[in-house]
Structure 1
């Protein structure tokens, strides 16, 4: 039964008038996630209107094959559009593979494997014809068999949460999930006429680009506040908070002068233990997805220099006993000592105990645990960051040894002054943290609006017109 929906509303301010409109008549789509669709739109299985194929071309270079460039999983997962600005991976392929999987303008590529079923079928749109770039392994390539379906419309359809939920249900696997090809080919899609598809795609390109620009501006603003935060901490832990204090040379070029009454000590003279964890697999054990004893990894130490319980990893009692040397204590300082996030640091609080850690994380246990927060803050100074950089780049892979950490120079003063400085930092950074939190929430709302906008427009709940401004976002 068709329903009439002739509503059209106007909203605006003195600068602008925007029309929000819907289609005059709707009909049931017969697909639960879609609901009603405009009366003149069609519904059809993807396989009847598009070619869907899984690529089997991997990143290997095989002698005798033709050199090509490979659009791989990460290229698709992290980007909405594929163009010639990419630094594609070099590989080889047969003449038949090149002919079959060459990228053409309007192709939609989707990820067909993932670690979780809710993170699958992520789409990207190919923006130009390529003569030497082909679709890589773990991807599906989709292109229209006829002009009735436009790639830029199908791309936006794949971006809707409702449409994507079909693939979440269809994904198979235990530790890694994959999409059978038939789950893609058998999916039912909705199709407006070609002119509407073009209008919808162009409209969404324009609006999402404006939203993305606004989000990027807000992210840059957050970066500026983070720089201000880092500068406040650096000034306080290397110069103190008394502007009239007498200074003396620290003896270290990139540290400069420090207050005259402060002293410097190597970290190893302030600690009971400087050590690192062990990978359970080296003793025949494994990391679990649930349990009572947390197993903290580098990814649990955040860029904000705090320790998170997420993602959650655990070990059993027996493994913890075997790894008792690296059993963690309250107020231990954890620092990432390997990989791209080297130098991230956090203080361990009792809420995360009992816990242990792996070989990519160093734990520092102080003789005087009351100084844990001071050491944590000092590790955020430009001086320590420079020290970590110089110590880590000497190896082929970024890496910090326990010996080098123990030899870090630490600036100290009396405990009462330390507490005053910590209080000053907390007051000053609280204002910045609150501002950053507010901006992050604004970014979340913009991202939610972006998702809702794509869904409402591409499923026909809102009609695109020249003055369209769905959901009342007049500033966009």
Structure 2
């Protein structure tokens, strides 16, 4: 894109050079930020007309509104601290967000919404442990101020370009959803029907399974898995359980997520021992199934571990089975504990009868699924990488335009 003919130092680190005809000023001279209002109890999560914003996410709906028309929302707390939204209609803004009120009609709301996005306000958080940002911190930052015509032109240009990028991201996200749905269907078909399409079938007698190959068994889980009760060993490494990665070392988890995890310092004597190949049951198993442990180590006593104790139970086969949607729904049907916020128990696990193919078939199904899902996962990873690049380009484009590093089409210099 074309650049302006002359630049000058803005004197502000995040802005850098700006076109010679632009100014800079403290954000408090452009807008004031005020906290939203607590959502009335009788409106929380109620179906209504307006979305509810707070903490950077939609938390419910309300049929009242405390904001009308266009405004900017800056998240105040939590993981989304510093994120911004431009709201073009009515909404309820909770006390967990800040509302921008502009001081003069000469300031284009959409342009300054993009400015706030470019500022990476999350970096201004007052604490790393519990991210939070105050109105005064934001208002004391400086912003570039082009003339009103340029503000309008930049906002119009970015509206068009970011909409196209957002549409591309949405298309890729939808393709990932379809791949995940296909992945789930392939796994479900293989672990409950086998790999031989011509195999004679029989009714399993279990609703969540349906028909299974005639030579397969359906067994009570206690005949296949035992409850591990070992206390943590002195040399055990700390493990982390997650639906995303299964059970892996805490160190590996932090590397993958680029974040720190709170280590257990006191009460480590009540931690439990886990062997590679164990399955971990947690409260979240209601949502994501049982987690497979890829490593040996120790884990919180809040978890329950089961392990295959017969030579006819192949962990890799059940690793896939325990993550199928039908199995997860079967777990949910065993209790109403999920609604009470209590943990899933071993007794819930034992209520869900399991298919038992011959060992050689379990091994064949596991190998087939490992190979097949690896190829799907590779494609998903490529698409996720594309989304990251698109979002990085979006942020870069916004930053370059609002700071004048590039001149948007239609802008004329004085």
- 1:55-454 paired onto structure 2 within 5 Å: 55=36, 57-59=37-39, 71-74=52-55, 77-78=56-57, 87-89=60-62, 102-114=66-78, 120-128=81-89, 130=90, 135-160=93-118, 163-164=119-120, 168-169=123-124, 171-173=125-127, 175-273=129-227, 294=238, 296=240, 300-302=242-244, 309-310=253-254, 312-316=261-265, 319-323=267-271, 326-338=272-284, 342-350=287-295, 353-357=296-300, 359=302, 361-368=303-310, 371-392=314-335, 396-397=339-340, 400-454=344-398
Q: 1:403 to 1:345 in 2, by over 3 A?
A: closer
For the aligned residues, what is the CA RMSD? 3.3
CA shift at 1:276, angstroms? 12
Q: 1:87 to 1:60 in 2, by over 3 A?
A: closer
- Residue in 2 aligned with 1:65? none
- Residue in 2 aligned with 1:83? none
- Residue in 2 aligned with 1:28? 9
Secondary structure of 2:186's aligned partner: helix
Q: 1:192 to 1:337 in 2, by over 3 A?
A: same
* Residue correspondences, number: 392
- Residue in 2 aligned with 1:8? none
Q: 1:440 to 1:218 in 2, by over 3 A?
A: same
CA contact (8 A) 2:276 2:293 kept: yes
TM-score after normalising by structure 2? 0.83
Q: 1:366 to 1:201 in 2, by over 3 A?
A: same
CA shift at 1:380, angstroms? 2.8
Q: 1:395 to 1:73 in 2, by over 3 A?
A: closer
CA contact (8 A) 2:283 2:338 kept: no
CA contact (8 A) 1:51 1:145 kept: yes
CA contact (8 A) 2:239 2:247 kept: no
TM-score after normalising by structure 1? 0.73
User: C-alpha distance in 2, partners of 1:456/1:24?
Assistant: 15
CA shift at 1:194, angstroms? 1.2
User: C-alpha distance in 2, partners of 1:213/1:181?
Assistant: 32
User: C-alpha distance in 1, partners of 2:230/2:51?
Assistant: 39
CA contact (8 A) 1:295 1:313 kept: no
Which runs of 5 or more structure 2 residues have no equivalent in the other structure?
43-49
User: C-alpha distance in 2, partners of 1:253/1:134?
Assistant: 44
User: C-alpha distance in 1, partners of 2:357/2:126?
Assistant: 59
User: C-alpha distance in 2, partners of 1:389/1:173?
Assistant: 38
CA shift at 1:134, angstroms? 5.7
CA contact (8 A) 1:293 1:354 kept: yes
Q: Deviations over 1:8-56 (max 9, x none)?
A: xxxxxxxxxxxx211122111111221111111111112223223345x
- 1:44-63 paired onto structure 2 within 5 Å: 44-55=25-36, 57-59=37-39
CA shift at 1:295, angstroms? 5.8
CA shift at 1:306, angstroms? 6.6
Q: 1:383 to 1:153 in 2, by over 3 A?
A: closer
CA contact (8 A) 1:343 1:388 kept: no
Q: 1:388 to 1:414 in 2, by over 3 A?
A: same
CA contact (8 A) 2:208 2:330 kept: no
